[in-house]
A and B are shown apart, each in its own frame.
Chain A
Amino acid sequence: MQEESKTAQFEAIALPHFGAAYNLARWLVQDDRDAEDVVQEAYMRAFKFFGGYRGGDSRSWLLTIVRNTCYTWLQSNRSRELSEPIADKLDEVGISTENPETILLQTVDAKLVRQALEERPIEFREVLIMREMEDLSYKEISNIADLPIGTVMSRLARGRKRLRELLVSSMSKETLN
C-alpha cells in the first residue's frame, strides 16, 4: 500500500514536468534517441532520490536532475563538447547598438532560429532554453545550473547578443539569395 502511494506521489510530482524535462534534455544532447535515454535515466534517478525531496519547487528539482544526467551523459559520450569551458565575463552584459535599422526578427523562420541556437555552445544554449522556453527565473536557472545569478545574467546577455548576430546575418544571406 505504502509503496503504491509513493509511486503515485512521485508520478503526481514529476510527470507534469515531463515536457520540460524532454525539451531541456533534447536541446542539451541534441539527438532524439539519446534524449529519450537521458530523460528515462533522469526519472529513474529522481525516483531513487525521491525520499530526499522535501516539497517545494518540483520543476526545479526535476530539471536539476535532468540537467545533471545530461552532463554525465555528455561527459562519457561526447566529452569534446564539454572540453572547452567558456570564460564568463561579468561586465559583458550589454546590448547590440550596431546595426541601427530595425531587424524584423518576428518574421524570422523558426528553422533559422533552431539552427542558430543549436550552434551556440551548451553554456549559452541551456540558459536561453531555460529562460525563453521554460520561462524560468534567474533564481531558478541559478539553482538548476548551479551558477551564480550574475553568471546566469551575463550568459543570457551574451547568448542573446550572439544569437541576434547569427540571425541577422543568416537573414541577410537569405534576402540576398
Chain B
Amino acid sequence: MICEEAHKLIHPYLDGELDLVRNLEIEAHLRDCQACAQAYNELRSLRSAVSDTALRFEPPVALRNRIRAGVRDESEITNRPWRLSRRWVIPAVTFASLVIVAWVLVVDSAL
C-alpha cells in the first residue's frame, strides 16, 4: 500500500469501518511507514480528546420527568377523545353548575 492510499483509509480504519483484507493491508503499512503510523497515533489521541466524557452534556433530571408527563398527557388527550382530560373536569363542572344556577335564577324571576 502506498501512503496516499493509506491516507484515504486511515479514518475508516480508525473507525473500524474497513473489511478484514483492508484492515490487514493498512496494518502492514502502518508497521512499515513511520510517518503514517504517527499520523494514525495523532488521530487516536484526537479521538480520545473528543470522546472525553467531560465534553458530554448531561440532561437535567427534571427534563426527563417533563417528557414523561408530556407523553402521558398526550396519550390521554389523543386516545380518549370521548372523555374529558383530567385537567378540564373542574372547570367543566364549575361552568355547568353556573349555567344551571343562572337558568334557575332566570326562570325564577320570570315567574
Which residues of A from 121 to 143 have beta carbons under 8 Å from B?
128, 131-133, 135, 137-138
Which residues of A from 67 to 108 have beta carbons under 8 Å from B?
93-97, 100, 102-106, 108
The answer to whether A153 touches B55 (Cβ under 8 A) is: no
Interface 1/0s, chain B 43-56, versus A by CB < 8 A?
10111111110111
The answer to whether A132 touches B51 (Cβ under 8 A) is: yes
Chain B residues near A63: list those with CB within 8 A. none
The answer to whether B63 touches A103 (Cβ under 8 A) is: no
Chain A residues near B46: list those with CB within 8 A. 105, 160, 163-164, 167
**A39-B59 in contact given A3-B79, A131-B15, A156-B15 (Cβ < 8 Å):** yes
A93 to B68, CA, bound (A): 43
Q: Answer yes or no: A47 CB below 8 A from chain B CBs.
A: yes
Q: Answer yes or no: A117 CB below 8 A from chain B CBs.
A: yes
Interface 1/0s, chain A 107-119, versus B by CB < 8 A?
0101001100100
The answer to whether A160 touches B75 (Cβ under 8 A) is: no
A161 to B70, CA, bound (A): 42
**A139 to chain B: closest residue by CB:** B17
Of the four ranges (under 10, 10 to 19, 20 to 34, 35 or more), the interface on chain B belongs to: 35 or more
**A156-B55 in contact given A10-B71, A43-B70, A137-B17 (Cβ < 8 Å):** no
Q: Contacting B57 at CB < 8 Å: which of A26, A93, A95, A153?
A: A26
Q: Answer yes or no: B97 CB below 8 A from chain A CBs.
A: no
Surface stretch bound by A, among B33-41, B87-95, B100-108: B33-41
Minimum CB–CB distance for B76 against chain A, Å? 8
The answer to whether A105 touches B45 (Cβ under 8 A) is: yes
Q: Answer yes or no: A61 CB below 8 A from chain B CBs.
A: no
Q: Answer yes or no: A18 CB below 8 A from chain B CBs.
A: yes
The answer to whether A108 touches B75 (Cβ under 8 A) is: no
Which residues of B from 58 to 85 have beta carbons under 8 Å from A?
58-60, 63-64, 66-68, 70-72, 74-76, 79-80
| 16 additional A-B residue pairs with CB within 8 Å, beyond A102-B41, A105-B45, A137-B15 | A6-B75, A10-B71, A15-B68, A18-B67, A26-B57, A40-B67, A104-B45, A105-B48, A108-B49, A114-B55, A133-B55, A137-B17, A156-B11, A163-B46, A167-B46, A167-B49
Write the residues of chain B forming the contact surface with A, with a CB cutoff of 8 angstroms. Answer: 7-8, 10-12, 15, 17, 35-36, 38-43, 45-52, 54-60, 63-64, 66-68, 70-72, 74-76, 79-80
